Amino acid sequence: MALAINNNLMANNVTRNLQSHYGKLNQSTQRLSSGLRVSSAADDAAGLAIRELMRSDIAALGQGIRNANDGISMIQTADGALGVIDSKLIRMKELAEQASTDTYTADQRTLINQEYQAMAKEITRIASDTDFNGSKLLNGDQTKLHDVRGSIKYATVGDSTVSQKGERVSIVSNKDGESVEVTNQTAQGFEIKSTFALDDKKTLTLVQQTKSKTEGALDEVGSKVSVLADETTAFETTDLKSSADLTAYYKQAITDKKLTMEQSSDGGKTWTNVKLGEDSAAGGMVRITVQEENSKRVDTFTLGKFQKDGTTASVAKLNITTDGALTTKGADTTITHTSTTYTTTNVHFGSSSASTDSYNVNIGRSDATSLGVGTAADDNVLTREMAKVALNNINNAIAKKDASRAELGATQNRLSATIENISVQKENLQAAESRISDVDVATEMTEFNKQQILANAAVSMLSQANNLPKMAQKLLG
């Protein structure tokens, strides 16, 4: 290197190195003081992008854990209320048992029934008032209609003839439902029975039987309505908006439809072309007339009020006596709970919108009417017979309530397991984010000391380099 006066090249070189060391020393100081290896996009552009995505997922998973814990709290609130309802049902069963013996008079049963109905009202009050964070849990506020027994897959009739010995009708549901058997009463003919259920779209379908004699079978009916009749054509589907719509549609469905009925006694007689027609009736009721063609005899029976939520429906029994006349059997029989309502709450805990990142918590409606007990469900203990019916109703209510509690318990356990899983997932994601974003203090401190030593050396050498022009000046002098 030449010895020059105008340009001190050695000093320039030392200055450049000193600036580099100061820059790296400043970066190390910034990293050590902030604890971050990547504090700006300039530090690591790709790492910054990955880190921000990870940070968003970590925040979402943290909120998901809180959501799941809130879901558990909601379930515990509902389960606690159902536990109180359980105690009321137990007391109602005790009262029904008390009223089912003839050692009590009618007046005493009236007093027993007062407490029985008070318990039913308390159940409804609890169901109406139980809420979590302003959301009602047990009254079906956020409703979604389901078929309680599952979708009916098929139904078979052992013999389509009308037998005074009584025939059994078995209805088999799918794996989500349960089997139901209805046995006709001996020496009292057969029973015309309709089962009503609504799907999620509140759609009602009436399907008729395809055959009228032996080996009769019903069409695939799903969670719809089956009507035993002689026609092969299925009724159309209609949207159900109110009980009045159902009444009107049922009237339309039965008008001028025909049944073929056969008595199974020796030398039995067959009645053909028996018409079902609709007659005028009080609002919300359907009155059906039964008449054999070419006969003046007309029998009338009434189907009770229908409700669109499926909590109650009514059927009438039609009897065939030995003289061949068509008669009816007194009062209507009530069938309950063909469909029910659920409060459906979605608990979201994942970091995306995928369906696997959330659970639907279905809490069954649990007021007295839905459980099938109390005055609203035509349930009382005023007589020995009604008390025995009430015992059966309460057993069904307890089973339904326990099924709801069991589902809530299973969902709570799932949420607890989900919280554990998400916590592990969040922990591992935080570790990965830390490896990208956080500074390694040991490594960075080593780098800091290195740059500090180099900077000190550069300062010393710069001082020496600045003295070189003086050496050139001595040569001139």
Instruction: Tell me the CA distances in angstroms from 264 to 183, 270, 275, one per residue in order.
Output: 16, 9, 21
CA-to-CA distance for 391 and 128, rounded, in angstroms? Answer: 24
pTM over cut 0.85: no
Domains of the chain, by residue range, sit at: 9-53+429-476, 67-143+340-420, 149-334
CB 318 within 8 A of CB 254: no
Choosing among 1.10.10.410, 3.30.300.30, 1.10.1200.10, 1.20.1330.10, the CATH entry for 67-143+340-420 is 1.20.1330.10
* Strand order across the 168-173 sheet: 152-157, 168-173, 180-183
pLDDT for the residue numbered 91: 96
pLDDT for the residue numbered 370: 86
Cβ neighbours around 127 below 10 Å, total = 24
Compute the Cα dihedral for 278, 281, 283, 284 and give only its sign.
negative
Question: Which residues contact residue 309 at a Cβ distance below 8 angstroms, ignoring those fewer than 6 apart?
Answer: 145, 198, 339, 341
Tokens at 290, concatenated:
């039964």
One digit per residue, pLDDT tens: the chain, 477 residues? 666 677 788 889 999 999 999 999 998 998 898 898 988 888 889 999 999 999 999 999 999 899 899 999 999 999 999 999 999 999 999 999 999 999 999 999 999 999 999 999 999 999 999 999 888 888 876 443 322 222 222 223 332 222 223 333 333 333 333 333 333 323 233 333 333 333 443 333 333 222 222 222 222 222 223 333 333 233 333 444 444 554 554 555 454 444 444 333 344 434 444 454 555 554 445 555 555 545 545 555 444 444 444 333 333 333 333 333 333 333 333 222 233 444 445 555 555 555 456 677 778 788 898 888 987 667 899 999 999 999 999 999 999 999 999 999 998 999 999 999 999 999 999 999 999 999 999 999 999 999 999 999 999 999 888 888 777 777 776
pLDDT for the residue numbered 183: 36
CB 194 within 8 A of CB 232: no
Instruction: Tell me the CA distances in angstroms from 374 to 110, 172, 378, 382, 392, one per residue in order.
Output: 14, 29, 6, 12, 13
pLDDT for the residue numbered 242: 47
Torsion of CA 398, 400, 403, 408, to 10 degrees: -100
Q: Write the pLDDT tens digit of every residue in 188-206.
A: 333 333 333 334 433 333 3
Residue among 74, 62, 66 at smallest CA distance from 345? 74
pLDDT for the residue numbered 360: 76
pLDDT for the residue numbered 362: 75
- E strand spans, 51-202: 131-132, 135-136, 143-147, 152-157, 168-173, 180-183, 190-191
- E strand spans, 241-396: 257-262, 270-279, 286-292, 298-303, 312-320, 326-336, 339-348, 358-364
Question: Which residues contact residue 161 at a Cβ distance below 8 angstroms, ignoring those fewer than 6 apart?
Answer: 167, 213, 214, 262, 263, 264, 268
Tokens at 69, concatenated:
């814990």
pLDDT for the residue numbered 419: 92
What string of DSSP letters covers 301-341?
EEE----TTSSEEEEEEEEE-TTS-EEEEEEEEEEE-SEEE
pLDDT for the residue numbered 180: 34
pLDDT for the residue numbered 298: 52
Tokens at 152, concatenated:
């009916």
pLDDT for the residue numbered 239: 45
Residue 336 has φ and ψ, to the nearest 5°, of -125, 155
Rg (CA), the chain: 41
Q: Write the pLDDT tens digit of every residue in 63-100.
A: 989 989 999 999 999 999 999 999 999 999 999 999 99
Q: Provide the 8-state DSSP code for 380.
A: -
Compute the Cα dihedral for 50, 52, 56, 59 and give only its sign.
positive
pLDDT for the residue numbered 8: 83
